[in-house]
Structure 1
Amino acid sequence: MKTLITGGTVVNSTGRGLADVLIEGEKIAAVLPPGSQLLGADLKSAVDKVIDATGKYVIPGGIDAHTHMEMPFGGSSASDTFETGTTAAAWGGTTSIVDFVVQYPHQNILDQYHLWHEKAAGNSVIDYGFHQILSDVQDSSLTAMDELISEGVTSFKLFTAYKDVFLSDDGQIFRAFQKGAENGALMMMHAENGSVIDVLQKQAIEAGHTTPYYHGTTRPWQTEEEAVHRVIMLADLARVPLYIVHVSAKQAVEQIATARDRGQNVFGEACPQYLYLSLEEHLAAVSEQWGDFEGAKWVCSTPVRSREEGHQEAMWQGLRTNDLQLVATDHCPFCMTDQKELGIGDFTKIPNGIGSVEHRMDLIYQGVVDGKITLERWVETCSVTPARMFGMYGQKGVIQPGADGDVVIYDPNGHTSIGLNKTHHMNMDYSAWEGYEIAGHVDTVISRGSIIVDNNTFLGSTSHGKYIKRGLSQYLI
């Protein structure tokens, strides 16, 4: 199958320009000046399909490097399967995800890795890779890290929160960091001071403060900043690169920026919820249906933070200045009915997570429209840097000959209305982004040369997605 995309503006992180893109089979074969000829013949007559992208952007397929499909957590499981979640991702212009293999205490890491392959294989519309969560750092865990790297799992996540579930103490974190420094892994951290949060939550419940609003107030920015600083120091001591997931507090960004300014290899991840949502408007929300439990729709950790304190603008600034390097979603959806409502009367029992995998590309593009980031920075943070950060660049994250034919045609003159009964394909009974209007539209999505979304029609198949065996991060030194 040969596909020619003509007339569009090709956008990579290094710039933009009018060009035609030729895809042969699963790979990009050429990026050519508009109207180029092949061996003296018009290219249009030598291909199977021509897509006219005049007036539109032609960009590398989006890469969401932080998802949790079918993740068991808080007495429930994330409502998106690999099938529903990757279908939704495709609709939104994302052609690759990196999902987290979950290990709870005493579970065998390699068994969990194989379980995630069973979940995803034959059930994914787009390509997928895996990170590994480490919750029980022992000698066997460190040995498993070496084995997983040979399998293409080259990044590992630990937690400073969730006692008896995910939390590792400083000694365990440091041992894992040392192993990462030895084998070339990229170490990832969920950084909040879980011990302090546990005290604050207990005190809030005892005082009768049980609504979702208090999820945010009992995870104050100080608990994030302290944990970010602590793990940065541990990573410095171990001499290992460090990636902080879902940064939400401006003070945490400052800690990352300070470490980077002194030469430490530290990276920060932004998510749409921390760029747009807030404590006052969302966690405190009230509705006729759910009363003061409405805010449960936006319960996630780290929490959405106060707009009055300027956290959202600090996140956008971090993206502009490269103090935050990329945008992922932490996609971990739960329905309100039978899932989030487990926390009625006790906010600590609300399953933590927001569904965003379908809307990331649109929401960040709106930042281009609003003058918060450039067009090239949009592509860089949503496609290019995730590929480089997680060992996929050259295969993914770029429009150049030899790369996978993962291409999105985006119409800046289109319009997208987000809502449950509008552009919503995630397996949820509500939309966390209800009512958001985007001045742009995903028109065509191509994954490894196959058109999977075109003209508001889904053409994908769960037999299409393949496992991405990732290399080491390009940001290692």
Structure 2
Amino acid sequence: MFERGFVGGDLYLEGAFKTMNLYTDQGKIAAISGERLPCRETVDCRGLKVLPGFIDPHVHFALNLGEFTSADDFESGSISGAFGGVTTFIDFLDPVLEAEAFHEKLAQRKLFAQASRVDYSFHTTLGHFSGDVQPLINASLAAGLTSVKVFTTYSESRRDCPKPVIEALLRSPLTVLSHTEKDDLVDPDWLETATYEASRPVKSETLEALALADLVEKTGGSLYMVHTSAGSTVKALEEHYGHLLGRQFFLETCPQYLHLNRDCFKGKEGPLYLLAPPLRSPGEQALLKDRFSSIYSIGTDHCPFMRAEKLRYPEASKVPKGIGGIEYSFLLLYELFGDEVIDRFTSHPATLFHLKHKGALRVGMDADLNLLDPQGTTLAGRGHSKSDYSPYEGKNLKGRIRATYLRGEPLVIGDRLYPSQGNFLRRRLD
């Protein structure tokens, strides 16, 4: 006898919906059938779409920036995500400058992450790395981290990664994540909030993306460009390196670049919207939407702060950069693109980042499930983040997530959060 049966719903199976029943046992999907099978508990899914649990491959919980720390720790951030159907996230190690520091950085983050209510992993992160990178590659893989993030900017804080190191990483089995801006076109000392976008222009993203695509082609590596902000960047990559997109060069964008634009920077509350890369013009946003088919995955870059912190300084350069979004990320995209977004929250990040038991409704996979009511609506509010504002507050969104299950057990049903403990996911290449 199975533990739970999810009956009568439209199951998302390999890219299409089929009305079938799904049964769980010991945290796994145990059967998918058109027949009614015996189970201890039945969940009526009629009128609902049954989706895999969502994966957010790009969050920053408890990010320490010195004077500021992001508002959400691993507990509150994971709870906020749970209410948005996120059952797995990938955070980041603090930047590693030399291989010997890797294990300390990993132990630090794993300690903080013990409070997570959903499953999680980490990306290794490099700063201005010196020395032989091969020991770090070996240590990362041995620890179950199959991906590494680099920055091509932030030279003022020694976070920029030297190009020879990036090339060596691309020749390794790791997937390289890149914060992609041309450093000499970025002005880190920009003062005026209203014109902040000009400090990190579209050109800086586009030119660096093309340079990295050339390096990917040269090395045969795999690169995931985080928070793609401009439609022009996607268009240029399609024109010059379209054969790499979705195969070796993978594009992520975030809800903010599709729902907000640079007009948000105007006025006295402009600092609330500062982030890097910045929000773009309405024209760039429209072009990004038009090129959505080239976007491989959605990450939130979830990194909110408190209102008072964002408004503390008049100088844009001193404002902590980042906003929240994990709780409403799926519905924000579903509002714009409907079912087209599902793979970008599930199978795509699971495949690229070696989350082998996540991202699909198949027998043997973790029973991470979302019950989506496509006829429902959701009014975005502040949500369950510790931050005291949301950039999406007041938006009325299509769809409502009625329930979320983590490894077969209730995580959120309606407005109720159930007890849960997230697991660290060791990711392996094989």
State whether TM-score is above 0.5: yes
Query: Are 2:279 and 1:304 aligned?
Result: yes
Tell me how far apart the structure 2 counterparts of residues 237 and 110 of structure 1 sit (CA, whole Å).
Answer: 31
Secondary structure (helix, strand or coil) at the match of 1:378 reads: helix
Query: Over aligned residue pairs, what C-alpha RMSD do you find?
Result: 1.9
Question: Following TM superposition, by how much is the alpha carbon of 1:396 offset from its aligned partner in structure 2, in angstroms?
Answer: 0.2
Tell me how far apart the structure 1 counterparts of residues 7 and 207 of structure 2 sit (CA, whole Å).
Answer: 51
* Corresponding residue for residue 366 of structure 1: 335
* Corresponding residue for residue 304 of structure 2: 333
Amino acid at match of 1:216: E
**CA, structure 1 residues 74+229, in 2 after alignment: closer, same or farther (shift >3 Å)?**
farther
Amino acid at match of 1:332: C
| Identity between Structure 1 and Structure 2 (%) | 26
Tell me how far apart the structure 2 counterparts of residues 156 and 71 of structure 1 sit (CA, whole Å).
Answer: 17
Contact 1:174 1:238 in 2 (8 A): no
* Corresponding residue for residue 40 of structure 1: none
Query: Are 2:168 and 1:178 aligned?
Result: yes
Where structure 2 has 5 or more consecutive residues not aligned to the other structure, the ranges are none
Q: Deviations over 1:42-93 (max 9, x none)?
A: x3xx322211111110000000000011011263111100000001100110
* Corresponding residue for residue 396 of structure 1: 358
Query: Are 2:48 and 1:91 aligned?
Result: no
* Corresponding residue for residue 370 of structure 1: none
Tell me how far apart the structure 2 counterparts of residues 262 and 403 of structure 1 sit (CA, whole Å).
Answer: 31
Contact 2:170 2:220 in 1 (8 A): no
Query: Are 2:428 and 1:455 aligned?
Result: no
Contact 1:296 1:350 in 2 (8 A): yes
* Corresponding residue for residue 275 of structure 1: 258
Query: Are 2:425 and 1:468 aligned?
Result: yes
Secondary structure (helix, strand or coil) at the match of 1:113 reads: helix
Contact 2:379 2:396 in 1 (8 A): yes
Question: Following TM superposition, by how much is the alpha carbon of 1:105 offset from its aligned partner in structure 2, in angstroms?
Answer: 4.6
Tell me how far apart the structure 2 counterparts of residues 341 and 257 of structure 1 sit (CA, whole Å).
Answer: 39
Tell me how far apart the structure 2 counterparts of residues 53 and 192 of structure 1 sit (CA, whole Å).
Answer: 45
Question: Following TM superposition, by how much is the alpha carbon of 1:148 offset from its aligned partner in structure 2, in angstroms?
Answer: 1.0
Contact 1:74 1:350 in 2 (8 A): no
**CA, structure 1 residues 108+67, in 2 after alignment: closer, same or farther (shift >3 Å)?**
same
* Corresponding residue for residue 131 of structure 1: 123
Secondary structure (helix, strand or coil) at the match of 1:362 reads: helix
Tell me how far apart the structure 1 counterparts of residues 51 and 307 of structure 2 sit (CA, whole Å).
Answer: 35
Q: Deviations over 1:198-217 (max 9, x none)?
A: 2xx54x54xxxx3x222212
Tell me how far apart the structure 2 counterparts of residues 178 and 249 of structure 1 sit (CA, whole Å).
Answer: 28
* Corresponding residue for residue 106 of structure 2: 113
Amino acid at match of 2:253: A
* Corresponding residue for residue 61 of structure 1: 53
Contact 2:126 2:159 in 1 (8 A): no
* Corresponding residue for residue 242 of structure 2: 261
Contact 1:12 1:379 in 2 (8 A): no
Secondary structure (helix, strand or coil) at the match of 1:48 reads: strand
Question: Following TM superposition, by how much is the alpha carbon of 1:138 offset from its aligned partner in structure 2, in angstroms?
Answer: 2.1
Secondary structure (helix, strand or coil) at the match of 1:412 reads: strand
Amino acid at match of 2:250: F
Runs in 1 of length 4+ with deviation above 3 angstroms?
104-107
Question: Following TM superposition, by how much is the alpha carbon of 1:303 offset from its aligned partner in structure 2, in angstroms?
Answer: 0.7
Query: Are 2:181 and 1:192 aligned?
Result: yes
* Corresponding residue for residue 19 of structure 1: 20
Tell me how far apart the structure 1 counterparts of residues 244 and 202 of structure 2 sit (CA, whole Å).
Answer: 25
Question: Following TM superposition, by how much is the alpha carbon of 1:315 offset from its aligned partner in structure 2, in angstroms?
Answer: 2.2
Paired residues for 1:43-82 under 5 Å: 43=37, 46-73=38-65, 75-82=67-74
Secondary structure (helix, strand or coil) at the match of 1:108 reads: helix
Q: Deviations over 1:333-381 (max 9, x none)?
A: 11111x2123x221011111110111111111112xxxxx351x22111
Per the normalisation by structure 1, the TM-score is 0.85
Amino acid at match of 1:176: I
Match of 2:384 among 425, 432, 450: 425
Question: Following TM superposition, by how much is the alpha carbon of 1:223 offset from its aligned partner in structure 2, in angstroms?
Answer: 1.1
Tell me how far apart the structure 2 counterparts of residues 221 and 137 of structure 1 sit (CA, whole Å).
Answer: 27
Question: Following TM superposition, by how much is the alpha carbon of 1:234 offset from its aligned partner in structure 2, in angstroms?
Answer: 2.6
Tell me how far apart the structure 2 counterparts of residues 466 and 125 of structure 1 sit (CA, whole Å).
Answer: 8
Secondary structure (helix, strand or coil) at the match of 1:247 reads: coil
**CA, structure 1 residues 109+256, in 2 after alignment: closer, same or farther (shift >3 Å)?**
farther
> How many residues are paired up?
426
Secondary structure (helix, strand or coil) at the match of 2:75 reads: helix
Tell me how far apart the structure 1 counterparts of residues 145 and 177 of structure 2 sit (CA, whole Å).
Answer: 13
* Corresponding residue for residue 379 of structure 1: 342
